[in-house]
Structure 1
């Protein structure tokens, strides 16, 4: 009885109980014997890990990692803080393992990190030093993202995006000062341009107002002149109208001064 218990204890000491958690895919890998290297995919559940076996767990939900990546740009040895979001395709977890022979810890600390570092070194050779501070760094990050994504095509690792996980470190003060001065100059130029455009617009508005006022005066004068011309023509063609106008305006009082045929004027005193 004691020997049987001892044998059971020995067997248990060489095995372990492992859980494959929800949201994960498990891989049972044979380490020795004729089946060495063979892989069995395990769904969620509890499994015994044998003496010559190792069970790996791979999450299939989004992973988020951040790395410090060295980038040498025009003699500046900068340290970029770059984050990555990626996931493993559930149906290709075994492909991930056979490609890299790494568990999740090593995927994060070695495989993903090296891919980003290689992309950073390659893209850095196409950058200017001021790109590390100006808007050019976003363009560089997108180029890195595309390069990293392509490097994992067909492996089961899907790169969703790269992002800046912090500011770029180890930048010379003179570079920062120069770039900030350049950015300020560009902003000042844009502000001045907008001011000039505003002034031009206001001048145009004032000109339109002046032209409108001048046109109104000219149009009114032309209308008045035309009215006088038409009235004068009508009176010349109808002299009786003048007499009628005179009659309509007479107040019934005889004229106090009358000019006769002689050169002397006679004074009429109204009663």
Structure 2
């Protein structure tokens, strides 16, 4: 709401109150008729002239006011200064009254913003093109907001910070990413991505750190198709080598297990053989002629053999 509107509103309210209370008489009346009634027959130009002059004064008065929003840096720009007022910038806050013909108010947002740029191409050392899709957070430094506006005035006045981030800031960020990429080989970029992005952030701060705070910068860099296939093949080969090595270790462990089992079985056989040999030895020591004869008797069924013996032959058992 402008100051001009407020003044016009105030004039309208005062005129309305004056008419209602009849303290503001704008009409002239005829002489009273025979009944004592008077009819309006014109205007009193003096009060009307005063009202019109007040309205014109409100319309063309030079002053205006602005309320600086929370989270913004207010800048009072003198349009009549040298360099078209760019060098005469005053930081303001709260409610600010200014001359709308010779001054203007700009509010620079100080909040942190997240930016994601569309995909673009950078070139690594050796001429390898790589697609990137950078993203980052940034905010305007409060202490240098006036200087930023002074140097980027034409871009800022076209569309505020949005115009700067799509133009000047975009060029600075992409340029820093590309310049750092030119220093390193394609392998370095993907094997040392964290270090690479830290270098980019350092380079970005050199270029725009005077006016902006940049954080959480990610390049989201992707390898070219041929390099991507090579990386995938290498990863597959490494995985196969690790798998083969693991299988070899398993086979070696299994062979060792079998050797140990074989050694155990052999020892068992030796022990069993030794035991059997010992048993045989003990049995041999126990066998005597009397014991053999005793075993024959135990196994005899009591039937004499039917074989006719020749002269001089003895029976199976000698009876004494």
- TM-score, normalization: structure 2? 0.57
Q: Aligned pair 1:197/2:245, yes or no?
A: yes
Q: Quick one: structure 1 residues 252 and 25, their matched pair in 2 at CA, closer, same or farther if it must change by over 3 Å? A: farther
Unmatched 5+ stretches in structure 1: 169-174, 257-263
Deviation of the 1:209 alpha carbon: 2.8
Structure with a larger share of its residues in strand: 1
Identify the structure with bigger relative contact order (alpha carbons < 8 Å, sequence gap 6+): 1
What are the within-5 Å matches in structure 2 for residues 1-271 of structure 1? Answer: 1=50, 2-11=52-61, 15=64, 17=66, 20=69, 22=70, 24-31=71-78, 32=80, 37-42=88-93, 47-48=96-97, 50-51=99-100, 52-66=103-117, 71-73=122-124, 74-75=126-127, 80-88=132-140, 92-99=141-148, 101=150, 102=152, 103=156, 104-128=161-185, 135=190, 138=193, 140-153=196-209, 155=210, 157-164=212-219, 176=225, 178-227=226-275, 235=282, 253=298, 266-268=315-317
Deviation of the 1:9 alpha carbon: 0.8
Q: Distance in 2 between matches of 1:254 and 1:16?
A: 138
Q: Quick one: structure 1 residues 254 and 109, their matched pair in 2 at CA, closer, same or farther if it must change by over 3 Å? A: closer
Contact 2:116 2:133 in 1 (8 A): no
1:40-62 per-position Cα deviation (integer Å, ceiling 9, x unaligned)? 2425xx65553213222313233
Q: Distance in 2 between matches of 1:268 and 1:179?
A: 104
Q: SS of the counterpart of 2:298?
A: coil
Q: CA RMSD in A?
A: 4.4
Unmatched 5+ stretches in structure 2: 1-49, 302-312
Q: SS of the counterpart of 1:253?
A: helix
- TM-score, normalization: structure 1? 0.65
Over alpha carbons, which structure has the higher Rg? 2
Q: SS of the counterpart of 1:147?
A: helix
